[in-house]
Amino acid sequence: MGSPGGSTVPLLSAIIVSLGLLGFYLKSKKKKEPEERQLNAFIEEFEVQPSPNPLPPLAPLPLSGLRFAAKDIFDVEGHVTGFGNPTWRATHEEAKSTAHVVTALLRNGATLVGKTHMDELAFSINGENKHYGTPLNSAAPDRVPGGSSSGSAAAVAAGVVDFAIGTDTAGSLRIPAAYNGVYSFRPSHGSVSAAGVVPMSPSLDAVGWFARDASLLRLVGAMLLPTPQTPPKRAQRVIFAEDLFGLSTAPREPVIAAVTGTLAKLNASARVERTRIGEFFASKVPSLREFARDGKDGMTGEEAVAGIREAMRGLQGWEFKQAHGEWVTSAKPDMAPDVASRVNAALGANEETAKKAAQVRRELRAALDALLTNDTVLILPPSPGAPPKRNSPPKSLDDLRNRAMQLVAIASLGGFPQVTIPMGTENGKEDGNPLAFSVLSGHGTDAMLLDTAVELSRGVTKVAEMYWKRGGREAGPRGAEHRAEEAKTKGNEALKAKRYVEAVKHYNEAIRLDRSNATYFSNKALALMQLGRNGDAEAACTEALNLDPKNVKALLRRGFTREQIGAYDQALQDFEHALVLEPANVQAKNAIGRMRDLGMTS
């Protein structure tokens, strides 16, 4: 948690680690169960035990009891890293040490249970491997799992492991997550150590992870990401990239309905906007002209987005050539035709194009970081649509791959963090294809992005289900949620006019219609405070905080009510908590100072 790829290590663990990794590795072969053979997620199964838990009364390690798998791109001492290709496996020796990220997870209590299949040389997004077969997509068994982190996503989706690690150069976490209906997190480039990971394109490679729920996704992040210097802010500005949704065949309306509906309940102060992000890139990233229409001066938004894809490909090809060109030439690996085609194209990459791509990367990073401040996120599709059918002819997938590369290139080339969030199926039925959306934020805002994923996960699937139950329509004017918002508006008007009893009445009506909206309880508390009903106001604030623990207004209002009734220590805790969430909050600072000056705390 303190530095990239690691966290605080208990003294006992530190002693054990100092004796060498073999000191705490206990490995045993495990016989495959029939359902796991059908799953085909693993290339090799074994167990690597974690560091031992500290003795009571110390708390167990954060990941104690959790099982994880690692893509066959991570080194594990004593095992050959296969990189998805049998020729690679045959020409490389067993790893002499274990990848940094794997060691960090073991130190924090997780058990490694094996290495998972991946696409050859990480050069595909389908998940089909001609040598090792195709892992089962539990969410859509007749369709591919996506790649290149195919086995890791499949193992998580099937429930064989609690979480799994993979890598993402050009969508290799985001696309499998969307296809398998699980969460994935691609962190800011360089924030998680890639030591002990076979490189594909070092400027684009990111070590990330999959999980079935957002809370575990965030917990793994707390073990691997650097500790934020300041508490992360809550996302207050949400931007839908409308033009990017046009690159996906998946329906956009349920995504928009689910995100806006969830924010209305859990974070009513958040602003939702729509933009054509390609036009932003066209105006803010001038070096894209080198990759749009052969360097022609003017470029459209569509050309700018396609240019980012081409810049990414130019950099990826050159770096793959630098890392593995000699091996490809000498070993002459057996590869699937589509993979061989991409490898051969990479071998023809040139340094001049890579340098131009690096300039695009710098400009893209600066432009999007300026737009995506530490409380702003971008919503976009993680994939170009439903997963293709298994064994589809490679040529039939060319258009899909081109659209996919446009969607994934923004985070890959810019080095931005991006989280993939599942939200049921495309038609709201069990047999529908998985539906997902993704959220992208500025470089280094990983903690805020993971918090946002947890917040959105509380409601998006439910709101999407309601969307489909209404026949694919958003809530109409007679819907309970709409009537609740009308009641809140009337309550706000009454509160502003100092008609406090009337305001409470309207807020009660809003709560009756929708008890899941923290804002209704918090606003009701403010009206009750004006009436001097501090006990009732405190209870309303507590209801709001049960729904939304980061509701600063509710914390401040409860603090003031507790101060009025003489519960000074509890009041101080509320004010201090509010200040942690919003370090610049003047009300919280003044309240803490006032209470301490008057000696109101023990």
Known active-site residue 64:
no
Cβ within 8 Å of residue 231, ≥6 positions away: 580, 581, 583
d(CA 171, CA 425): 21
Q: Which residues contact 478 (CB under 8 A, 6 or more apart)?
A: none
Contact at 8 Å (CB) between 517 and 484?
yes
Name the catalytic one among 138, 148, 193, 383. 148
Q: Are 481 and 514 within 8 A, CB to CB?
A: yes
Q: 383: cis peptide before it, omega within 30°?
A: no
Which member of 13, 71, 188, 438 is catalytic? 71
- Token pair recorded at residue 189: 């480039």
| Catalytic site residue from 138, 149, 172, 188 | 172
DSSP classification of residue 2:
-
Closest listed residue to residue 127, CA positions, set 136, 119, 138: 119
Other beta carbons within 10 Å of 601: 12
Tell me which residue of 172, 217, 177 sits closest to 71, measured CA to CA: 172
How many C-beta atoms lie closer than 10 Å to residue 12's C-beta? Answer: 14
Residue 70 DSSP one-character state: E
* Beta strands across the sheet bearing 237-241: 42-48, 111-116, 67-71, 163-168, 206-211, 183-186, 418-425, 434-440, 376-380, 237-241, 271-275
Residue 188 is a catalytic residue: no
Residue 389 is a catalytic residue: no
Structure tokens that stand for 549 in this block: 């623990």
Catalogue the active-site residues.
71, 148, 172
